[in-house]
Amino acid sequence: MNNDDLLRRAIELAEEAGAAGNRPFGAVIVAPGGEVVAEGQNRVAATGMVTEHAELTAITAAIEAGRADDLAGATIYASGEPCPMCSAAVVWAGITHVVYGAAEADFAAVIGGHPRFSLSCADVIASSDANVTVSGPNLRDETLGPFLRYAAQHGRD
């Protein structure tokens, strides 16, 4: 699978999260060798846990499956730009590549939400001493689809 295919899988997971009443975010973690290590979806509304963002549920799933070592050097594909909490978790987990779809400013314009941060994913990661590359936004129109459908069903937060 290539970057676009893996990002599209994150978009599918976001669509599923949105259909379940959660904000529409999905994430896929891929080991350096190309194997999918874990997937995650936003589950904040379903669980009431504010840390149940897609990136964190994917990282947690990898660790719970005994695959923590596979996170070192991995790539995370996120349907939306990771927030500061998730960006920091990427650094702590040893993930070295972030590929995201919609930029925070773009999806926030569609679904709203507060609080908001002025720090981008790249800014948070750059403030660390980790060597992590960040690519995004990618497939902008495709990644905004789940946000548009969520907003149509649930309105803006």
- Domain CATH number, residue 102: 3.40.140.10
Distance from first CA to last CA of the chain, Å, rounded? 35
Choose among 63, 147, 155, 71: nearest CA to 103: 147
118 contact partners, CB below 8 Å, separation of at least 6: none
Q: Minimal CA–CA distance to 92: which of 116, 76, 114?
A: 76
pLDDT of 156 reads: 66
Mind giving me the DSSP string for 98-109?
EEEEE-HHHHHH
Q: Of the listed 55, 64, 81, 104, which one is catalytic?
A: 55
Note down the domain range covering 127.
3-154
The Cα–Cα gap between 22 and 32 comes to: 30
CB 24 within 8 A of CB 46: no
pLDDT in tens, 51-109: 999 999 999 999 999 999 999 999 999 999 999 999 999 999 999 999 999 999 998 88
Q: Which region among 33-42, 94-103, 108-117 has the lowest average model confidence (pLDDT)?
A: 108-117
Query: What is the H or E stretch that residue 149 is in?
Result: helix 140-154
d(CA 78, CA 129): 22
Residues 101 and 79 sit within 8 Å (Cβ to Cβ): yes
Question: Which run of H or E residues covers position 30?
Answer: strand 26-30
> In the chain, how many domains are there?
1
- % residues pLDDT > 90 (the chain): 87
Each residue of 113-136: b (16+ CB within 10 Å) or e? eeeeeeebbbebbeeeeeebebeb
Q: Is-catalytic flag, 52?
A: no
